[in-house]
Structure 1
Amino acid sequence: MREIDNITRRCGTIIVLSLLSFLLFVCEVPASAAPWWWVHFSKGDDNSAATSNTERWLEFAVNNATVNDTVYAFSFTWGSGNWDMINGLDPSANNVGLNALASAKIEADPCNYIFVDSDDSTTGGVPGSLTADINNDSRIEPGSPNGQEDSHNKLLIIPGKFVITGSMNFTVGAATAQPNDALEIRVPSVINRYVEQAEEFRAGTWHDNTATGPPYYFNSPNGDTIELYFGPDDNNNIPTGSGPGNADAGGDVGGDPADPTILGVVDRVLREANQSAFYMVNIFTSSDEFDSANVEAHLKAMANAGKLVEGCWYSLDNSPANAMRDRLQLNHESRDANTPYTNAFHIKAMVIDQEKVITGSANYSASGMVWTDGNDENKVVIDDFRLARKYLAYYRYLLNTQVIAPDGVGANTFETAPPIAPTNFTVTATPTYFNATWTASPSTDVTRYFLFISTSNIDTKAIGDGIDNEGDGYIDEDPVGDADFFASGTDLGDMTANDDDADGSSDEDPWMYPEVQVKGRSSTSGVISTQNVGDALASGTN
């Protein structure tokens, strides 16, 4: 095996999800807010279930709204039939969901509204199960002249509270059968930017290209960088192609470092990658307008330079896409999710250097990432190793459980065997921090160590294993309290915090955050001076 930057060509242990764990009894830790993000993934088992934990989680998100809150809900399609986000967990009770919220707003006669959007080319548009109260305050995007542009965002926004973005439409299939992500962001400045764009849509402005100046950069409470892009609005007022068959005004769109499109952003992040790239992508299209050869070229160049590149995507048996698939497979492990998925492999995410996550609504297509008159989309680039760890865990979950077959070309780099654990782990307390030391793992493909801190015993077998231990659709189930704001009652109509598995802990969120990342296989020490992702330890903690 060839070692490059502490990474071998074996894949699995590039993701060192849990090598270190220790029990700390933390006294007098002050109450603190939950971390600024939470991400929820669908089970993605190609089976559309009647009700899922993901559906319940979205319903609970709606339930955070009050009659005085403005609510924006964007979905490319809303599907048909009962959907908890609209009808509530118990439709007869009419106590939660968009319908219940609309009824409450009418009774309270507030000035605030609910704005519901759907692409008008889908069957039914905004579903009939939405009450007239909501439909009176909703907007369906007018049809576009050439039929190419769509309102493709998947968003739930409650100003001042959160925005949920990602690949998940608000349908039963999206929440169960299809692999999808729903990323909740609780950073006020980011929420405000989403609200600005939502208000622009509500005013009837779609597919514009009017924003100029630098892109939108934000910092999270603990210093993580968040980049936010809306396409085509943030194309810097530069024409970048218009519909099929039209050449890009700038020629090699996506290849220019100054390219303002979403594709240009993806290209930039790939160019800057130092170590690895993992992708879970609905589809790569290959066309003159999209110039996806840029993405292809960057991925292949990374692999040729000895960096670890892997991915899976849905080729849809499309000839140009299949040709690109064949070329990628000659270069690195690039699995075709067309089998076993009869439903779409729908997620649109990349993880770069185990540090950055690229996600959002945009497909890797010309209409999704390039055209001036293309789809209305949003994409975020988040530099947060904790978030990257969760997306990598989902990647491993999909490849481990859904039997997305190896590409059959060259060596299979995806690895399931864990690295050899470090030894001689010790923790020394000081008045203000903990100092952890260990003997490094002898495995040559270890890239980093994660340190966890908790007031409860940490089950090292569950952290980062990508396994649904209880068969309830969640993976990596570690009790850490109410970080997701979602009560885990087993009764579908119950929003209370129950002890689901009778172990004495209630409202057990499905995973916990590592507190510290220590890079380098040969590293042997780390300092833990915070808990709950950046909150200060109380004086005298031991």
Structure 2
Amino acid sequence: MHIVRQGLLCVVLLTLLVGCEIVTPEPAVEEDAAIEVLFAQSTTGSTGLDLMLAQAIDSTTSTIDIAAYDLNISTVVDALVRAHQRGVTVRLVVEGDYQERDGPTELQRVGAPVVIERRDPYMHNKFMVLDDRTVWTGSWNYAYNETYRNDNNVVIINSSAVAENYSAEFEEMFTRQLFGAGSPADTPHPQVQIGEVEVQVYFSPEDNPQRQIVDVLKSAQSSIYFMAFNLTDNDISDALLRKQREGLVVRGVMETEQSTSTGSDFDALQAGGVDVVLDGNDYRMHHKVFIVDEAVVITGSYNFTRSAAQSNDENVLIITSPEIAARYLEEFSRVYQQAQEAQ
């Protein structure tokens, strides 16, 4: 009887498996949404990201949710305090290593709620959601050096669907106290179509963005340009080396300070023929960017490391848009030229 029941169970399971297929969710479509890209470029004077963000904060009317590795620059902190004092709900999740910086302490002083992430792995996000509609994200920490000395990029997305993704991630950390591998993979809209621009949103480690990054690199047909603050993930480096052997243009800039850190793949990439150089910024080249086939941009808080893949809280955008890719290629050309001049 036990054997019969086991056999019937197998038949039922097989029927269910045959009758089901993995369905990729249809992308959310928003024709009235918009994307803007900004860069912190100390060498060209094109900076002031803090002033622009403060202006956006001053325009909010209902909510501001912040996930910040570091929050310390006074223009942004003061704007958040003003928002709280005029009745906007301001909430912060901050990395524990930076809990005593001006942002967390000032917000706590005026009574805004602050959650401090105290695990050993980092809460490495740098994003804000304004009025459940506008997302600021990228490589930029809200600190002085990050704004006026380091190389960084910011993506501003006005999209309720993208904002819903980031709000869901924020609630996991702020309300449910779920971080790292404990976070559920439940991003509401992994793909969002904004006019002709496709935006994919992933959170690490739960959404496994490392796999998505490697897949995009493997799909490259003509070129890969990259700016990497840190690159120690062998799967990513192997994909770059493979494309180099296939004859594609593979060219990159890596942060000098991190190139000698344990596990850095800088030497291996150079030895494999990849045109990779060390940056020329006297402070830090803090980008985490790939530009593939001059059409796809990968960016976010995610350094290309095993820690980012397996334990840190991170976010990644994969943006398909030749126009946006062109903006990042301009920044790459500037950073690459500066690196060459510093050799």
Aligned match of 1:335 in 262, 274, 277? 277
2:249 maps to 1:308: yes
Quote the residue 1:262 is aligned against: 209
What is residue 84 of structure 1 aligned with on the other side?
Answer: 75
SS of equivalent residue, structure 1 residue 349: strand
Q: Does 1:217 align with 2:191?
A: yes
Please give the TM-score of this superposition, normalised by the length of structure 1: 0.53
What is the aligned partner in structure 1 of residue 103 from structure 2?
127
- Does residue 188 of structure 1 match 2:160? yes
How many Å apart are 1:160 and its aligned residue?
Answer: 3.8
**Structure 1: how far apart are the matches of 2:131 and 2:125?**
17
Displacement of 1:271 after TM fit? 0.7
Cα distance between partner residues in 1 of 2:141 and 2:188: 29
Residue 138 and residue 44 in structure 1: after superposition, are their counterparts in 2 closer, same or farther (change >3 A)? same
Report if aligned partners of 1:114, 1:138 keep a CA contact under 8 Å in 2: no
1:350 aligns with 2:322: no
Query: Residue 321 of structure 2 corresponds to which residue in structure 1?
Result: 384
Amino acid at match of 1:61: A
Q: Compared with structure 1, are the counterparts of its residues 36 and 387 closer, same or farther at alpha carbon in structure 2 (3 Å cutoff)?
A: same
Inter-partner Cα distance in structure 1 for 2:33 and 2:184: 34
TM-score (normalised: structure 2):
0.82
Distance in 2 (alpha carbons) for counterparts of 1:138 and 1:128: 7
Write 1 or 2 for the structure with the bigger share of strand. 2
Per-residue CA deviation, residues 371-420 of structure 1 (Å, 9 max, x unaligned), is: 1xx111110101011110101111112223x344587xxxxxxxxxxxxx
User: Is 1:103 paired with 2:85?
Assistant: yes
| Cα displacement string for residues 481-519 of structure 1 (whole angstroms, at most 9, x for unaligned residues) | xxxxxxxxxxxxxxxxxxxxxxxxxxxxxxxxxxxxxxx
What residue in structure 1 maps to residue 335 of structure 2? 398
1:57 maps to which residue? 52
Structure 2 residue identity aligned to 1:219: Q
The residue that corresponds to 1:71 in the other structure is 64
> What amino acid maps onto 1:305 in structure 2?
E
Deviations 1:54-95 (A, max 9, x none): 2211111212201xx11012221123xx521122xxxxxxxx
SS of match in other structure, 1:139: strand
**Residues 70 and 95 in structure 2, CA contact (< 8 A), matched pair in contact too:** yes
Structure with greater proportional helix content: 2
Alpha-carbon RMSD: 2.6
- Using a 3 Å threshold, how does the CA distance of structure 1 residues 52 and 83 change in structure 2: closer, same or farther? farther
Aligned to 1:239: none
Identity score, percent: 20
Q: Give the Cα–Cα distance (whole angstroms) in 2 for the partners of residues 311 and 34 of structure 1.
A: 35
User: Residues of 2 paired with 1:84 and 1:213: CA distance?
Assistant: 31
TM-aligned CA deviation for residue 232 of structure 1: 1.8
Contact 2:91–2:112 (Cα < 8 Å) also in 1: no
Q: Determine which structure has greater relative contact order: mean sequence separation of CA pairs < 8 Å that are 6+ residues apart, divided by chain length.
A: 1
Question: Match of 1:42?
Answer: 40
Q: Which residue of 2 aligns with 1:361?
A: 301
Instruction: Give the structure with higher Rg (CA).
Output: 1
The equivalent residue for 1:118 is 94
Question: Is residue 278 of structure 1 aligned with residue 225 of structure 2?
Answer: yes
Q: How far is 1:44 from its partner?
A: 3.8
Alpha-carbon distance in 2 for matches of 1:163, 1:135: 24
For residues 394 and 213 of structure 1, the distance between their equivalents in structure 2, rounded to whole angstroms, comes to: 30
The Cα shift of 1:125 comes to: 4.5
In structure 2, relative to structure 1, the CA distance for the partners of 1:319 and 1:199 (3 Å cut) is closer
Q: Which runs of 5+ in 2 are unaligned?
A: 1-30
Distance 1:349 1:153 in 2: 15
Shift of 1:303: 1.8
Q: Secondary structure, in 3 states, of the residue corresponding to 2:333?
A: helix
